[in-house]
Every structure is written in C-alpha cells, then in structure tokens.
Chain A
Amino acid sequence: MNNRVDQQAGVTRTVKKLCLVLVGMVGFVFALVPIYDLFCEVTGLNGKTGGQYTYVESEMEPDLTREVRVNFITNTNQGMNWEFWPEKGAMKVNPGTIHTVNFFVRNPSSVPTVGRAIPSVAPGLAAGYFHKTECFCFEQQLLAPGEIMEMPLRFIVGPEIPGDIKEISLSYALFDVTDDSSDLIKEFNNRLNTAVAAY
C-alpha cells in the first residue's frame, strides 16, 4: 500500500514536469516567429531585404571588374487592380556603384485605394548584399482614382557580393491594403471635401 502512495506521488511529479515541458513548447512555437525573422535577417534565407541603408561614398570601393545583372519584377497580388511596372526590366551594374530605377503605379479604378509593395530578392543569399538607400517598400501608398505615381528606388549591390552570384532578381508584390488603412482613406476624403468646399 505504501508502494501505491509512492507511486501516486511519482505520478504527480511526472505530470507536473510534463506540464512544464508543454508550457515550454507552447512558448517555443510563438518564439519561433521572431526567431525565424531574426534567422532570415542574419542569413538572408528567405530573400527578405534589409532596412534603409546609409550610403557613404568614401567607404564604398566600386568593383569595376565585374557586372551583376539586376532584374526588376513587378506583380500584383490578391485582387489588387493597380497597374504596376518598372522603368526597365533589367540593368547591369558594377558592384559598389549607386543606381536609380523608377517604378510606376496607376490606379485604374474609380475609388481611392491603398497599396503596399513587399520586396523579395532571389537568390535569397543575395539579399544581404542588395542595399536600398531609397525605397517605397512596406509603405502604405494611397492613389486617387486614375492617379499615376513614380516611385524611385536607389540601390547598391555590395562589392563584397560573392563572385558566383551573377544575376539578382528583385521582385515587388503589390498588395491591396485598403481595408487596413481606414486612416489614410479618411484623411483623403477630408482633403477632398475641403477642396470641394473651397471650390
């Protein structure tokens, strides 16, 4: 009988430990999200580009001995009806030199719409060497009906980029985030109303 009591104490202990493991695993799952982001940022695994890059010309040694081809790809996603195109499909650049390329968006619909462009670089490992000094990515952008906008991208391909990467593709996916941007829409309508009233 004593044996049984010991057993029950043991069971309680085991269950408590297992519950700790369980809580730990639940915490781990949600920690996975920031860990994944951090891991990708460090390694560039998923082709996510870094944030704003500060360009200091004197520190950058251009590598004029080789060229890297940069492709610009634009696409719209999840029912976004904007037109979206780059000024040119591709350009060849020397690593370490700064370049500008313009992207254009046009809202062909009859309602103000908010879009957001998400960049991605392939191959993923090139993302760490693709620096943007000026970029429209991740910003919420409102376009009035029929409005066209030019969006410049200034970038440098880092001279430390490995020699076997000869071609980089920069892709922008444009998402319709109107539903999540009621502030921008409200502000636009206010300005519109004021303008109409003034007229």
Chain B
Amino acid sequence: MSEVVHTGHHDDHDHGPEKGILRWLYTTNHKDIGTLYLWFSFLMLFIGGALALVIRTELFQPGLQFIEPAFFNQMTTNHGLIMVFGAIMPAFVGLANWLLPMQVGAPDMALPRMNNLSFWIMPFAFGMMISTFFMDGGGPNFGWTFYAPLSTAYGPPSTTYFIFAVHLMGASSIMGSINIIATILNMRAPGMTLMKMPLFVWTWLITAFLLIAVMPVLAGAVTMMLFDIHFGTSFFNAAGGGDPVMFQHIFWFFGHPEVYIMILPAFGVVSHIIPTFARKPLFGYTSMVYAIASIAILSFVVWAHHMFTVGMPLFGQAFFMGATMVIAIPTGVKVFNWIATMWRGSMTFETPMLFALAFVILFTMGGFSGLMLSIVPADYQYHDTYFVVAHFHYVLVPGALFSIIAAVYFWFPKWTGKMYDEALGKLHFWLSFIGVNVTFFPQHFVGLAGMPRRIPDYALQFADFNMLSSVGAFIFGFSQLFFLYVLIKGIRSGKPAEGLSWEGAKGLEWTLPSPAPYHSFTNPPKVS
C-alpha cells in the first residue's frame, strides 16, 4: 500500500498532463479523475433519464400503448439502479475528487493510483449491467431493490451479470471512500483542525464512513443471492429453511444509509453556496457538523421503516416509527441554519444560488412527505404507491441532483477558468424547477388516491395527473440537454473567470487562480 502512495507523487511534480486519450487512462491527478467522474455521471444521467422518459411515455395515457409490461419492469429497475449508482453517487465522488484536496490544502488525494482504479472500474460495471438488456430474458426486472425471491427464483438469467456489476460498483465506492478518509484525516494543511474544515469536507468524511460500513452489506446481499441462484443455498429460500424477509432486512440495512450517502454531500454543497451568495458566514457551523453526524448514526437504526407491511410486531413498528421521526430534528437544525444564514444577508440570485434555494425548499418538502410515510398506520395506505415515488424523487431530484447542478455552476469557473452564461443558467434553472414540480407534484395526489408504483397501466381516474406528470418529465429531461449546452458553451467561449470567481466565496480553493493549476498546493498553505 505504501509503495503505491510514494510513486504517486514524485514523478508527477514537474510536467503537465500527458497528451491524448492516455492522459485519461493513466491519470492519477485528482482534478482529471474528478472530471472523469463528473462526465461519466452526466452520461449516466442521460441514460437513466432516457429510461425514465420511456416510463413516462408509457404512462402518458392509461392502457398499454408502447411497451410490454416485462420491458416496463426493466425500465423502472434500471432507471433506479443507474440513477442511484451511476449518476448521483459518482457525481458526488467527482465533486469530492475535484474539491477535497483543494479545500483542505493538499496536493492530491492520498492514494492517487487507487483513485484511478476506482474510477476505471465504473465504466466496466455499468457496461456489464447495461449489456444485460441485449441478453436472453432481458436485463434486471425486479425493481432496484431486487427483493428475493423475485430476483433469485424468478429473476432473468442475466441476474448474475447484475450481481457482478453491483460487486464492482461496491468495490469502486469502497476504494473511493478509503481514499477520501485517508486524504481528509492525513493531508490537511497545517492549522486546519477538524472543526475548521469546510462543511463539504465534513459531509464527505461522514459519507465515506457510511459507504465503508454499508457497501459490504450490499455486496454480502448480492453474494447470498448468487449462492442461492447457483450453489443451492437457501439464504432467502423458504423451501430450504431460509427467509425472504431477511433479504429485506439486509437490503434496507444497506439501503437506508445509502439514501443518506446520496444526500449528505448535498448538504455540504448547499452549505458553501448559501453563505457565498448571502455574503454571511454559515450560521451554526458546529451544530451543522453534529447534525450531519447524528443523521448518519440514526441512519443505521431506521431501516425497517421501508418494510412496515411485512408483518412486524407493534413494538417494532413503534420503534422504527419513532427513530425515523427523530431524524427530522437534526434535519430541521440544518434547514434552520441555512435560513438563518440568509437572514439579513446581502443576497444575490445567481444560478448556483437559485438551485441551492430550490434545494432547501423542495428537499424540505420531500422530507415532510417522508415524515408522513414514517407514520405506521398511514404507511399501510401509502406503501408501494406513487406517493412513495413522489417522496423519494423530491429528495433525490430537486434534492441531490439540484445540489450537484448547483455545485457544477458554482465551481465551474474554478474548474474551467471560464464563466458560464448567467442568463442561460437562469433559464436552465427555471426550466428544471418547473419541470421537476410538474413531474413529481401530481404524483403525490395519484399516490394518495392509491395508484400503485412499478405498473405500466393504471385506472382511468389517474389519467389527467399522469399526463401532466409525463409532460413535466419531458420538460425536465430536455432541460438537462440544455444544461449540457450551457456547459459546453461556457467551456468554449465563456468569459475568463477570476481566481475569486464569486464575491462572497470563502475557502482555500478560491485562493488559487482560475482555472485551478494542474498541481495545486504542492506546498501546503497556512490556515489561521
């Protein structure tokens, strides 16, 4: 391990990047790898988004219009898997790669070669998973939660490829997390104590610990599936004395921390953007750190709220309901702090700020529908309906995804040395904001009225809201193509950006020129 660490640094010191494609294959530079992660997740966003549009096309009207139910199942499954593991998670890892070394004043990540490996596993993992579409029996069709025995006894033959793809994604995430923790704990500039770290660094430190704790659980779950399918074990097979409900326990023991893995770095991003454009320091830094830590710890004791209807004793339901509701307290602390940061600030509303504000409002709405779902008697009605779909899309799309878009606009000048076109950025924001609400808000109503999720057809009374939802989905989807255009235009012909690209921006990365030099902080800065 230590050998890897040494060679990573010395020969990189004096020359710039290699030329051509080899630069991207061989690179150990955190900025290059960050760029790779971000573009990869952008590509996955479009693939996952295309699947979502297939779903929304089919649901535009009741009845079966375009696709077969079996294909529809593959669409919902792969949309979920690609968005969770391919778009949101790698995008945050990309942000971590770009920003963490600059924000803690380190020359690079602690383990640059492992960094290269953890990125280059990803295209193979997703290549393998997407290739299952073209196999006999099609790709995974059992929902992104792949409950056994649906995924073991009844899964398509390609399930084995899916299992190995998940193994690879897990390996990549674990290596990435080890790298991030090692960087944060050992490479900080002199004077930067833990409680002086920028919040994005804090959120990623905690997220990385969550990843190391739960990715092995996911890997274990799919490994047990593999054994049940091919080696005659009965982990989840009732006929052999196993228990299918145990699959759900194991999956959600991974799954609930996983949803916080996708949102904690978003909290970090927003905690940088709001103080910048409110031109005030973040309100309640210490309480923010403790809130993140308590959310992370609580995430391990609430998993069964995803499975209230499996038939749990009353005290179990009461415990998981209570524990879930407790999470609202640290989350409320965070929302309060963001609002208090803006209070009497000199606010301006550039694109990153607009996305961050939308994040605060819409994520909070998603949080509230989550609270509704945590109420056991109500959950029996909401379970597996579009209300759940609306809930988690509100926390993941205008939550996690908006924060990623906000981060891209916010640090774009630092990465590229160019300014994006502010007017186009604002247009992109309004299109996305309207699109996302038109798509997902009506889903609350059809869900409460009882429309089940993951089914390609629905009763006639849901027709109007579904049509609206589909229209919104197309607005939202195509506005992300517009985002791509705004970015490319910015890279090619944006105005040059200053080192301190935003008037109120604080932090070590803004002390560097724009674009950030290929090697930054080779001599650690002093933090007072």
Is A52 located at the chain interface by the 8 A CB criterion?
A: no
B157-197 CB mask vs A (1 if < 8 Å, else 0) is 00000000000000000100110011001110010000000
Q: Is the CB of A18 within 8 A of B182?
A: yes
By a CB distance below 8 angstroms, the chain B residues around A12 are 1-2, 5
Q: Is the CB of A22 within 8 A of B216?
A: yes
Is B312 located at the chain interface by the 8 A CB criterion?
A: yes
Is B50 located at the chain interface by the 8 A CB criterion?
A: no
Q: Is the CB of A18 within 8 A of B181?
A: yes
Majority secondary structure of chain A interface residues (helix, strand, loop or mixed)? helix
Taking CB atoms and an 8 Å cut-off, the chain B residues in 128-166 that contact chain A are 153
Is A199 located at the chain interface by the 8 A CB criterion?
A: no
Q: Is the CB of B250 within 8 A of A32?
A: yes
Q: Is the CB of A22 within 8 A of B212?
A: yes
B257-287 CB mask vs A (1 if < 8 Å, else 0) is 0000000000000000000000000000000
Q: Is the CB of B186 within 8 A of A7?
A: yes
Known A11-B182, A15-B178: A45·B524 in contact at CB below 8 Å: no
Q: Is the CB of A18 within 8 A of B311?
A: no
The residue in A7, A10, A26 that gathers the most chain B C-beta atoms within 10 A of its C-beta is A7
By a CB distance below 8 angstroms, the chain A residues around B182 are 11, 14-15, 18
Which residue on B lies nearest to A14, using beta carbons? B182
Q: Is the CB of A26 within 8 A of B220?
A: yes
Taking CB atoms and an 8 Å cut-off, the chain B residues in 224-281 that contact chain A are 224, 232, 235, 238-241, 243, 245-246, 249-250, 253
Is B316 located at the chain interface by the 8 A CB criterion?
A: yes
By a CB distance below 8 angstroms, the chain B residues around A32 are 220, 246, 249-250, 253
Q: Is the CB of B243 within 8 A of A46?
A: yes
Q: Give Cα distance in the complex from A11 to B245, angstroms.
A: 40
Q: Is the CB of A77 within 8 A of B239?
A: yes
Q: Is the CB of B241 within 8 A of A138?
A: yes
Q: Give Cα distance in the complex from A30 to B216, angstroms.
A: 10
Is A116 located at the chain interface by the 8 A CB criterion?
A: yes
Taking CB atoms and an 8 Å cut-off, the chain A residues in 169-195 that contact chain B are 173, 175-177, 180
A-B pair number, CB within 8 angstroms = 106
Among candidates B110, B213, B232, B245, residue contacting A21 with C-beta atoms closer than 8 Å: B213
Is A125 located at the chain interface by the 8 A CB criterion?
A: yes
Q: Give Cα distance in the complex from A117 to B174, angstroms.
A: 42
Interface size range on B against A: 35 or more
A18-52 CB mask vs B (1 if < 8 Å, else 0) is 11011001101110110011001001011110000
By a CB distance below 8 angstroms, the chain A residues around B220 are 26, 29-30, 32
CB distance from A124 to the nearest CB of B (A): 6
Q: Is the CB of B174 within 8 A of A22?
A: yes
Is A118 located at the chain interface by the 8 A CB criterion?
A: yes
By a CB distance below 8 angstroms, the chain B residues around A54 are none
Q: Give Cα distance in the complex from A21 to B177, angstroms.
A: 12
The residue in A32, A123, A125, A177 that gathers the most chain B C-beta atoms within 10 A of its C-beta is A32
Q: Give Cα distance in the complex from A180 to B212, angstroms.
A: 37
Q: Is the CB of A36 within 8 A of B246?
A: yes
Is B219 located at the chain interface by the 8 A CB criterion?
A: yes
Is B365 located at the chain interface by the 8 A CB criterion?
A: no
Is A98 located at the chain interface by the 8 A CB criterion?
A: no
By a CB distance below 8 angstroms, the chain B residues around A19 are 178
Q: Is the CB of B111 within 8 A of A118?
A: no
Known A45-B313, A77-B238, A180-B232: A29·B221 in contact at CB below 8 Å: yes
By a CB distance below 8 angstroms, the chain B residues around A15 are 1, 110-111, 178, 182
Q: Is the CB of A8 within 8 A of B249?
A: no
Which residue on A lies nearest to B221, using beta carbons? A29
Is A65 located at the chain interface by the 8 A CB criterion?
A: no
By a CB distance below 8 angstroms, the chain B residues around A125 are 313
Q: Is the CB of B221 within 8 A of A46?
A: no
Is A70 located at the chain interface by the 8 A CB criterion?
A: no
Q: Is the CB of B238 within 8 A of A175?
A: yes
B111-141 CB mask vs A (1 if < 8 Å, else 0) is 1000000000000000000000000000000
Is A78 located at the chain interface by the 8 A CB criterion?
A: yes
By a CB distance below 8 angstroms, the chain B residues around A33 are 224, 235, 246
Q: Is the CB of B312 within 8 A of A45?
A: yes
Q: Give Cα distance in the complex from A131 to B432, angstroms.
A: 60
By a CB distance below 8 angstroms, the chain A residues around B212 are 18, 21-22, 25
Taking CB atoms and an 8 Å cut-off, the chain B residues in 482-515 that contact chain A are none
Known A11-B182, A33-B235, A118-B239: A26·B313 in contact at CB below 8 Å: no
Which residue on A lies nearest to B114, using beta carbons? A15
By a CB distance below 8 angstroms, the chain B residues around A124 are 311-313
Q: Is the CB of B313 within 8 A of A173?
A: no
Q: Is the CB of B246 within 8 A of A116?
A: no
Is B23 located at the chain interface by the 8 A CB criterion?
A: no
By a CB distance below 8 angstroms, the chain B residues around A7 are 186-187
Which residue on B lies nearest to A47, using beta carbons? B311
Is A3 located at the chain interface by the 8 A CB criterion?
A: yes
By a CB distance below 8 angstroms, the chain B residues around A48 are 243
By a CB distance below 8 angstroms, the chain A residues around B235 are 33
By a CB distance below 8 angstroms, the chain A residues around B224 are 33
Among candidates A8, A116, A175, residue contacting B6 with C-beta atoms closer than 8 Å: A8
CB distance from A138 to the nearest CB of B (A): 7
Q: Is the CB of A10 within 8 A of B232?
A: no
By a CB distance below 8 angstroms, the chain B residues around A37 are 243
Q: Give Cα distance in the complex from A29 to B212, angstroms.
A: 13
Q: Give Cα distance in the complex from A28 to B110, angstroms.
A: 28
CB distance from B54 to the nearest CB of A (A): 31
CB distance from A141 to the nearest CB of B (A): 13
Other contacts beyond A22-B174, A124-B312: 8, CB < 8 A: A8-B2, A14-B181, A18-B212, A29-B219, A78-B153, A118-B241, A122-B311, A123-B311
List 5 A–B pairs whose Cβ atoms lie within 8 Å, in order of A's numbering.
A14-B110, A18-B178, A18-B212, A36-B249, A78-B239
**Which 10 pairs show the lowest CB-CB distances between chains A and B?**
A29-B220, A175-B239, A10-B186, A25-B216, A11-B110, A14-B182, A26-B216, A12-B2, A11-B182, A11-B186
